[in-house]
Homo-oligomer: A and B are copies of this chain.
Amino acid sequence: MLITLLTDFGLDSHYVAQMKGVLYDLADAPEIVDISHSVRPQNVRQAAFIIDQVVDAFPRDTCHIVVVDPGVGSARRILLARSAEQFLIGPDNGVFSTLLERHPPEWVREMTETRFWRKPTSQTFHGRDIMAPTAAHLANGVSPASFGASTMEWCVLTPHELKMGRDRLEGLVIEVDSFGNLISNIPAQFFSQLQTQSEIHSPVVTLKCCSGEAAAEIRVPIVSTYAEGQIGEKVALIGSGGYLEIAVVNGNAAESMAAQVGDRIVVSG
C-alpha cells in the first residue's frame, strides 16, 4: 500500500524516521511518500490546504497520514476516513475538512481500538504509536471497521473569507509557495463564472497588502501562463492547483511585493 506522510515535524526530523520505521516494521511492503514536513508548527489550516491540493494526484487506495496535532494527548479524537477513494488518518481537528467538503467521505471512523496501537503508547507521539500502526494494519488487510465505530461528525474549519459579487470577487492569499507565488482561495471556476456571467470581460486583479508600513494596492494583469509575461513582470493566473495566484515571472512575488498570507486579493472590472 502507498502511504503518505504530512506533518509539522520539520525538515529532516528523526520523528518522521521513527514513523517510517514503524510502518516498515508492521506493514508488508509499504511504499512511503513524504508530502511535506514543513507545515508551520500546529498550523492545521495549512495542512488542510496541502492535503486537499495533493490528493487528486495519488492513486486509489493511497493512505494519507496527517500529523499536525496540537491536541495530542488531549481528548481529541483520531479519525480514519475514506474520501476520493483513498484513506485518511489524522486527528479530528479540521485538517481534513477542506478535502472532505470537496470529496464527501464514504465513511468516517473514530480510531478507538487500542489493540492496534504500539505499546507502550506515548502520550506525546500518536503519529508513531497510533496512526502509523493503523496505516500498517490497514495495508495488511485489516478491515476499516475493526479500528473503531463510524461517526457522522467531525471538526470543520471556518472557511477562509471569499466574497463573490455580481462583478467582483474578493479572497485572500492563503499560501506562499517555494517560488514566492501568492496562492489565493479563489477557485478557477469562480473566476470563469465572473468572466462569463458578468459584464466584465477583461477583469483586473488587485493585491491589497495589509502588512508593512503603508497599505499598498498593486494591480496585476491576468495571463494564462508565466511565459506570457516578461521576466520580472507581475502576473495573475490560475495556478496548477486550480486557484488564482499572483506571481513574478522568474522572480519572487512575496519578496518583491512584500506580500504574505492573509493579504487580500480582489478581482474586478
Contact = CB atoms under 8 A, between A and B. Distances in A.
Interface of A: 2, 4, 8-15, 17-22, 24-25, 31-38, 41-42, 50, 53-54, 57-59, 62, 70-74, 122-125, 128-129, 177-179, 224-228, 237, 239-240, 250, 252
A129 B240 CA distance: 10
A163 B34 CA distance: 40
Contact of A11 (B12, B25, B59, B72): B12
A13 B31 contact: no
Nearest to A22: B57
A125 B179 CA distance: 13
How many subunits of this chain does the assembly comprise? Answer: 3
Given A53-B14, A54-B14, A226 B21 contact: no
Nearest to A42: B250
A4 B20 CA distance: 10
Contacts of A228: 73
Nearest to A71: B227
A226 B41 CA distance: 14
Q: Which 3 A-B pairs have the closest CB atoms?
A: A10-B178, A73-B225, A21-B57
Given A12-B11, A227-B72, A21 B124 contact: no
23 contacts: A4-B17, A14-B35, A14-B50, A14-B54, A15-B177, A18-B57, A19-B57, A21-B33, A21-B62, A24-B31, A24-B59, A25-B58, A41-B250, A41-B252, A72-B227, A73-B225, A74-B225, A122-B239, A122-B240, A123-B225, A124-B239, A125-B240, A129-B240
